[in-house]
Amino acid sequence: MTRPNNDNNTHRQQHTYCQSSQQPMTANILKRLSITASLCFAASLLTACQATQPTSLLERDQSANITQIQATARSEVISNVSYDLTFDITNEARFSASSKINFDLTHTDTPLTLDLTQAQIESFVINGKRIYPNYNGAYFKLNTGLLNSGSNSIEVTFNRAYNTKAEGLQRFVDPVDGKVYLYSHFAPAAAQQMFAVFDQPDLKAQFTLSVNAPKDWQVVSTMRKTQVIDNGSSNTWVFPQSPKLSPHNFSMHAGPYHIWQDSSGKYPIRLFARQSVAEHVPHQDWFAYTKQGLAFFDDYFAIEYPFKKYDQVLVPDLPSDTTNKGAIKNAAVTTFAEEHFLHQGQMTNTQKQSLAGAIMQGVTQQWFGNLVTMKWWNGLWLNESFASFMGTLALSENAEFSNVWRSFYATDKQSAYFKDSLVTTHPIEMPAPASFNAFDNIDAITNQKGASVLKQLRYLLGDETFRQGVNYYLSQFSYQNATLDDFINSLATVAKRDLSQWTQDWLYHAGTNTISAEYVCGNGKISEFNLLQYAASDELPTLREQKVQVGLFNQHRHGIDKEKLITVTYQGESTSVPELIGTSCPDLVYPNINDWGVVKVALDKRSFNTATAQLSNIKDPLLRSMLWQSMWDSVIDGNIGIDRYINVAMVNVPLETDYSILSQVIANLKQAKIYLDRMTPSHKAYSAKVTKALGQMSLRMVMQNKSDSDLQRRWFNAYIQFAQYSQALDHLDDLLRGHTQIAGIELDQTTRWQIIKQLNRFATPTSKRWLAQERRQDNSAAGQEAAIAAEVSRPDANAKRQWLARIKHDNSLSFAKKRIAMNALYPSEQKHFSQATAEQRLDELNEFEQKGIVFMRSFNQSLIPLTCSSDNIERLTQAINHSQELSAMTVRALREARQEEHRCIDMKAKLQP
């Protein structure tokens, strides 16, 4: 057992690092930064560190990227910023704009830049003097000789192309009716792609806005418009000055949106969507959940909603991943990726919970993120994880959703545990040396683990203490920027306890601990009971303090019943629990009942045997979910073979009636099938046998659950996925033809596309005809994307090479469509097609990276090859060894892929079908 590293106490407050980026800057600047980094370790030393920088470190590298050192230097001399923005968006190809920036300057000795990317400059005026600007396509180098110590004004008039790469001002043409929609997307530092700006979060500013737009358009921004001026063929929308906002929290959206309004609550709320999809928007549910969220957080934070109205806009092509959960939380306007929230029929409970959860997270960040904003991009995780935790907490107060925390455990928390088990694990709080690095470490550790840790902290401090601490933080820093230390110190002040060691252990050290129960029984009673805590590894030795609930269970004739439940705060290697001495000897001990802790559970032998034998008889659904997860973890960790999990699941999952648990187990079975596909050809026969068994089981359960539409729909979706053999594929074809039907199952448009994609994935005789027919009938954006997924997934080597080339070179293809194509290009059973281009994809990583961070997040998830082979491990190793020019994010993805290959090979060796 590894003991905690007490040497960490020396630097408890040294949390933020002035260290260099691995990629966006030139090699010389990187070298100088890395030398300087050793001198600039602690956050408390950042200002002093900045003051001693060589002037060369304040010189930017000709790109849109800015380092933290450079941004800090800029914010030290600039204050009282305001923007007066005007836009003309009546042109189809480009927009025209003017940015007037007013600001105060303490002195003119520091080199200054103003950000604006890829614009054609028409005029540039500093303090009334028109000049020819020093502009490199990414930023202006300001002539400090023309600036004043005191107030200054800069006005830039320019035009620029609209974006299609999920940053800046996006332009989308609806394929159904040809209508045009615009929306902005600025995170992390992309406001500069729309207007001239000091693009960093700690230079908050007030914004006024004027927009000339086509006659039939709506324009939406942070503030409600004060007037609309009729210009004949167009309208000018005028918006008043906003409160102080970080640039990435400001937004502007425009188009002939359909609009719903609700003023029945305390704050006026509106909802916008494209006209062609408006009938699929359950707007009454949107309004109901939004009002619940605003009321909950008004009360919880004890601070009124900080803006005058709240708008929500459903938009196409919005990047959607684990970082943002399909939503960008701008001040007073949250944009949502419409693909997740359009429904052609009645929503299931799961779909409603997903919608309500996304809405709650958007509302949360109006306070925690927009009212108070992180000082630099290393704090981005706190915004997202706090929204995830608080959104779930708010949702749990709604009686409509009884399984919210179980869903959190089965999805968010498991993704965090898995990510934390990888060779690339990292602390929750990580430096972001430059704006380019803002997303380098935004993943399931920073977000989902961060949310889980905040949940545990609330239990540790107590609900009311935690709430008061958050209120103190928001009150102190309203309309300002703040750091992680500001947040922790606010909680510590209210709790009246030192949280510096807690902060070090949880936020600055990586890894997930394991806990187990060690007990001795005599004469049927417990005579000794201890909780044992294990470090993640020798390299990650930190042991942590946390509060958990320990549950003891005994078998009875009709199942497993809880005998004892106690709350324990443990720390260190071993914590004795004298309260349990004398209790009846249990058949099952679970030392994290109700999932308070952020910890993996190792069951003692007696408990493990009880759990596997009595899984379906355990009444507590959260405990049942945890035990299912423990079994899957045993597969991933290499303790049991994947075949054993499949066998247990085949027996027990048909008995499962809890929606969340069913989804959890089906997801693991799908992943098990992916592993088996990668293991081919060595286990091809077993894989085919399992696939058929899973498909038959799924169809049987579809037939048996006609009275429960939610349960039936989950099983039917699983059946479509497991329909990978001729009988099932023929059955899907018959369902499309109408030659057969399943009572309770309606083939809506979404379901039809699911089936057509599956038929094309396996190239059935009628699949091309179905694809062509459905393409003609459904020309919506969702239909086009589904058609691409179906086409790309077909087992055709030449077509796949052509699509890979399009992903790389076709600038007319939107990012959303490229993302769909990347995800569908190499299904797990098409391993040989993936191998055919594996070396090419790895060799061209540098070229793919030129497409930006958002693109590479999807590329890394979908197109880094995984084939469960030693050859691929060698390929990945070579790519890692020659990765000097790659981003840290991509290098991390390569290392994770290599670890995944080792895991798959180990699992294959344990498989004994």
Per-residue pLDDT of 572-620, as tens digits, reads 999 999 999 999 999 999 999 999 999 999 899 899 889 888 888 898 9
Asked if residue 74 lies in contact with residue 198, where contact means CB atoms within 8 angstroms, the answer is yes
Residue range 481-498, pLDDT digits in tens: 999 999 999 999 999 999
Output the pTM of the full model.
0.87
pLDDT digits (tens, 9 = 90+) for 285-320: 999 999 999 999 999 999 999 999 999 999 988 876
Radius of gyration of the chain (CA): 28
Average pLDDT over residues 86-105: 97
**Separation between Cα atoms, residue 913 and residue 894, nearest integer Å:** 31
pLDDT interval class at 321 (50, 70, 90)? low
- Helix, strand, coil percent content, the chain, rounded in steps of 5: 45, 20, 35
| 514-610 shares the fold of 409-507 | no
pLDDT at 6 over 90: no
Bridge-based pairing state of the strands 180-185 and 168-173: antiparallel
**Using an 8 Å Cβ cutoff, are 98 and 119 in contact?**
no
C-alpha distances in Å from residue 867, one per residue of 685, 768, 832, 873, 874: 18, 28, 9, 9, 12
- In this prediction, residue 630 has a pLDDT band, given cuts at 50, 70 and 90, of confident
**Phi and psi dihedrals of 126, rounded to 5?**
-115, 120
Domains of the chain, by residue range, sit at: 6-57, 409-507, 514-610
- Decide if pLDDT at 869 tops 90: yes
The CATH number of domain 409-507 is 3.40.50.10090:
no
pLDDT (tens digit per residue) in 193-227: 999 999 999 999 999 999 999 999 999 999 999 99
Output the pLDDT for position 55. 60
Cα torsion angle, 898, 903, 906, 908, sign:
negative
Task: Provide the 8-state DSSP code for 864.
Answer: S
Q: What six digits make up the tokens of 212?
A: 């000339």
Q: Note the pLDDT tens digit of each residue in 495-548.
A: 999 999 999 999 999 999 999 999 999 999 999 999 999 999 999 999 999 999
Fold of 514-610: Immunoglobulin-like (2.60.40)
Tell me the pLDDT of the chain averaged across its residues. 91
> If pLDDT is split at 50, 70 and 90, which confidence band does 51 have?
very low
CB 607 within 8 Å of CB 590:
yes
Of 419, 591, 612, 449, which Cα lies nearest the Cα of 519?
591
Distance in angstroms (rounded) separating the CA atoms of residues 625 and 606: 19
Contacts of 78 (CB under 8 A, 6+ apart): 103, 104, 105, 106, 112, 198, 203
For residue 556, name the pLDDT band (cuts at 50, 70, 90). confident
pLDDT 10s digits, 356-387: 999 999 999 999 999 999 999 999 999 999 99
- The per-residue pLDDT for 320 is 61
